[in-house]
A and B are shown apart, each in its own frame.
Chain A
Amino acid sequence: EPEVTQTPSHQVTQMGQEVILRCVPISNHLYFYWYRQILGQKVEFLVSFYNNEISEKSEIFDDQFSVERPDGSNFTLKIRSTKLEDSAMYFCASSGGYGTYEQYFGPGTRLTVT
């Protein structure tokens, strides 16, 4: 069964450093998303991406965040200058498009900022 994959599973970085989280969505899906979940809190939407551009972003997704689909398979989230409060589990998700709305989540990347 097709699945969303993410690398790395765990990333530790120092405050102020840049990190890139990588995702490979399900191959025939058209919509891609990043969510985050701070430990013990709810899942929060960050950004959605369709047709090679951002379709929506939340207030969390400020200038330090960016997304890219560098090729036909990868989808990345970059955090330019990490802060302590960026420590969270970051989930990538994808969905098929019109008529199919369920989003399938990857296993997540646990980001720890020290």
Chain B
Amino acid sequence: GQNIDQPTEMTATEGAIVQINCTYQTSGFNGLFWYQQHAGEAPTFLSYNVLDGLEEKGRFSSFLSRSKGYSYLLLKELQMKDSASYLCAVRGSDDYKLSFGAGTTVTVRA
């Protein structure tokens, strides 16, 4: 089975940096994904990590440590539109399905 944990809520100020952690315990591993989901909308793909290290994409970066079962998503220069739920998802080793965490709701304040 899959067990994926992330904090429920985080609050940050516009222009600041926020780091969302995700820990996972899975029966297999073939990649970790981060998605953004605005209320009432579909998840939108942000990043994919399969090897250890940092992947940077503009204001968003994602880090993975496979040995620790740990990832984080770093959001820099926060904007009001970044207020959303951020979902950590793991792909198992023998399949393509994604197992999602419960999501972290980030609120950006002016």
Asked if A91 contacts B42 (CB within 8 A), the reply is: yes
**Most A CB within 10 A of own CB, among B31, B96, B98, B103:** B96
Chain B neighbourhood of A7, CB < 8 A: none
Question: Looking at the complex, which of B13-21, B43-51, B64-72, B75-83 is the stretch in contact with chain A?
Answer: B43-51
CB distance from B101 to the nearest CB of A (A): 7
Tell me, in angstroms, the Cα distance from A45 to B99 when the chains sit together: 7
CB distance from A28 to the nearest CB of B (A): 16
Asked if A102 contacts B48 (CB within 8 A), the reply is: yes
CB distance from A93 to the nearest CB of B (A): 8
Interface string of A52-67 (1 = CB under 8 A from B): 0001101000000000
| CB within 8 Å for A45 and B98 given contacts A101-B31, A101-B48 | yes
B residues 95-110 with Cβ under 8 Å of A?
A: 95-103
Chain A neighbourhood of B30, CB < 8 A: 101
- Whether A108 is near chain B, meaning CB under 8 Å from some CB there, is yes
Asked if A43 contacts B100 (CB within 8 A), the reply is: yes
Hey, which bits of chain A sit against chain B, CB under 8 A?
A: 31, 33, 35, 41-45, 48, 50, 55-56, 58, 91, 95, 101-108
